[in-house]
Each structure stands twice: as C-alpha cells, then as structure tokens.
Amino acid sequence: MTINHHQLKHIETVIGQMIRFDRPADAVLSAYFREHSKLGANDRHIIAETAFGALRRLLQLRALIAPDKATPRRLALVALLKIHKLNVKELGEAASAGEKEWLGQIKGKVLPASLEVDAELPQWVIERLGEQTPEQVIALGKGLAEGAPLDLRVNTMKMKRDELLGRLQADGLECEATPYSPLGIRLKTKPSLAKHELFKAGVFEVQDEGSQLLGLITGARRGEMVVDFCAGAGGKTLLLGAQMASSGRLYAFDVSEKRLAKLKPRQARSGLSNVHPQLLASENDTKVKRLAGKADRVLVDAPCSGLGTLRRNPDLKFRQSPDSVAELNAKQASILASASRLVRAGGRLVYATCSLLPQENQDIVAAFLADHPDFKLVKMDEVLAEQKIPLQMGDYLELKPQLHNTDGFFAAVLEKNV
C-alpha cells in the first residue's frame, strides 16, 4: 500500500475536522465525502479507515508525538505508520524529507507506562468505571478500540435464520450465526447491503448482537401491550414486533420526530402492522399518562453517554464529560420513573443503556428501586434462561466488547409486584 499526496491531504483535513469534537465523527466524514463527491471508493476507504483509526488510538498517537504538538498533519502521518503498518518509504512523495526523518525517530519510540494511554480511555472515564483492576481497564479499552463487526438481525416474520444464512452465503457473503442471539448473523466483511434484495424485502436489518439481546430480554409475546419508550429509529421496536408476531399493540415513543421518521420505511419493509409510533413532547406527555398501568412490558433504552459504542463512535469519549454524564443521570432517572407508570401489576420494565458507567446503570436502578418498593429486580440469569440465551450474567446484563464481541450494553429487568 502506498499513499499519494492527495490522499494524505484528505486524511489530514478530515482528522483536523474530527478532533474539534464539535459534532459526531461520522457526520464529519459524511459531509466531507458529499463535498468531495469525485473521490473513488479506494480513496474513501483509506481516508475513513485512517481517520477513524486515529480517533481510536488518539491518546497513543498524541503520546508518541509529544513533546511536539499533535497537529492534524502529524496525526495523519503517525496514524498511517502505526495503523496501516506502512514503512516510511511507502509515503513516497506525499511526505517531505524532514517528515520522513521525524517519522523514523517516532517509529522506535517507547511510550512511558500510562493507564490512560494503554487503555485509550480518558482519565475521567477510568475513574468512573467502578471496581476494576488496571488489567481489566486495559482489556476493556483495547476491546473498545477495535473495529466492530457487522451484525444482522433476521425478521422471523419473513424468514428463518438458517435460510437467510444459506441465501447470504450463496450470494458469496462470508457469514455465520451469532453466538448469543438466536436472530443474529455476523458478516466477516462490511459490504453495502442497502440495495440487497432481501434487505429491501425486509428480511433482515443491520443490528449489533448486543442490541438484539436487549430486545429479546424484554420478552414480548403475542397479544400483549408493549411500549418501546425511547424507540429512536426503531431497531428494537421491529424486533419486539416480530416477537409479538405482529399481534397486540406495540407503541414506539420518542421525543425526536427526525428519529421516528426513520422508523417509517423500516416498518413498511418489515411487514409489521402492530407498531404505533407516537411523538412525545417529553417523558411526561399526556400520551404516556393515558397508558398508565396498562402495559405488559416497557423497554427503556435510555439516552446515555454511549461509551459502550466506542468501537463505532470513538469520538464520544472526547465529546462526553463528567458534566454531560451528570445531566444524563437526571434525565435517565426521570425517564425510568415516568416509564414505570405504564407497567401493569405483574408486568416488566427493562432499563437499558449502551454505557459502561455504573453511574448510568446500576446506580440509576438502585435509586429507582429505593423509590419504588412496588418493583423488584428479576435476576438476569433467570431472564436469559427464559429466552434460551446461552449467557451467565448474575443480576444484570453487562455486555463488553472484549468478552462478548458486542457493543458495551447494560440492562436490568424490573417486575411490578402483583
């Protein structure tokens, strides 16, 4: 692999825009590619891989560049060296003689011992991870710094998983069944699937295996009334609807019209007729009050720091802060309390996040249970056994990339006393 002057310039510019951390990195990349629509597929691949690779290992790259300033140009050069394992010669005329000499010095540099750099996690995140050894923090950080696989969820209303596996393999796609979700398929590569006939026919959706498990532990059944309280674009809503075999009533609540709009074409493809999207003004909207005490199951996939999704969104660890997490904690507690009012006696409430921080997870659940003695925690092992999911967890679902090859997820199942 060799890099030309133009590719290096594009990588430098994209990294420079991403490390401002004023908007999501994927939005930066999408906008850049729209502005430079003549870039070929190979150039786009190199630019995206290198820029995201630099974000994933930004603390390490900065440490290598120190005491020099970590400019976008230097970050781009060192990222090519470390992430793509390029040697200095392969930079050809893209880099100056002075830059090549500097890179030669960087190549043999040994980093000083630092938990922050070794784990690729900011100090404030490490401090909030709870009781973990340095080795556990480093293993977690390394797991979060890897790229995520591409997982699909089969729509069981339209096809069985084994049949879909066979069809995809016949199309030349290398894939296998996911180890935990009975609905999941993991691809070895990341092809574009938006134009695939089976995607257009609603046979499958792209969904991380961990996200599938959150839907499955909700345990929705035929004929029930189920609420997806923070439905977003509806990935879990569609899973719940298929679990219900398109019967009963499934409400998809969200405060964002833009997110709910993305659910419409997905719902149309899925063939589900039991989904009722509802735009809320807030978690205390009158639409919520109308369903008080009526729902069999309520899933709260709460707004959170997203630190469990660093494999896909490596910029989040720099865009979040202790203050933003504290604001989220207040919102999480309020949403969970409001959603709990919908649950009927004997019904279940699932609280979930894609965070790894106890402040957003166990602490929120413990405070809720202290304020709501009419709810009790259902052990996660019991719930996983009900759904025939081969995982041992204890009280909560705690998925971690280095252990389960999923995004980082947390979930608790709470049951309302009869």
- Please indicate whether residue 230 is annotated as part of the active site: no
**Rounded to an integer, what distance in angstroms lies between the CA atom of residue 174 and that of residue 415?**
41
**Rounded to an integer, what distance in angstroms lies between the CA atom of residue 23 and that of residue 21?**
6
Contacts of 319 (CB under 8 A, 6+ apart): 21, 24
**Rounded to an integer, what distance in angstroms lies between the CA atom of residue 249 and that of residue 222?**
9
Q: How many CA atoms lie within 13 A of 54 on its CB side?
A: 29
Q: Which amino acid is at 81?
A: L
- Is 171 labelled as part of a ligand binding site? no
CB 183 within 8 A of CB 153: yes
**Rounded to an integer, what distance in angstroms lies between the CA atom of residue 64 and that of residue 108?**
10
Strands (E) in 178-293, as ranges, are 184-187, 204-206, 225-228, 249-254, 275-279
Own/partner contacts of 90-99, CB < 8 Å, gap of 24 or more, are 90/1, 90/2, 90/3, 91/2, 91/3, 91/8, 92/2, 92/3, 92/4, 93/4, 93/5, 94/3, 94/4, 94/5, 94/7, 94/8, 95/8
- Is 395 labelled as part of a ligand binding site? no
Question: What are the distances in angstroms from CA 160 to CA 163, 167, 248, 266, 410?
Answer: 5, 11, 22, 19, 28
Rg of the chain over Cα atoms, rounded to whole angstroms, equals: 23
Q: Which amino acid is at 90?
A: E
Using CA atoms of 23, 205, 241, 291 in order, give the dihedral in degrees to the nearest 10: 0
CB 417 within 8 A of CB 376: yes
Q: Is 237 exposed, middle or buried (0-12, 13-18, 19+ CB in 10 A)?
A: buried
**Rounded to an integer, what distance in angstroms lies between the CA atom of residue 193 and that of residue 56?**
25
Q: How many CA atoms lie within 13 A of 397 on its CB side?
A: 34
321 CB neighbour count, 10 Å cutoff: 14
175, 230, 304, 354: which is the annotated catalytic residue?
A: 354
Residues in the chain: 418
Annotated binding-site ranges: 254, 301
Annotated binding-site ranges for S-adenosyl-L-methionine: 254, 301
Catalytic positions, please? 354
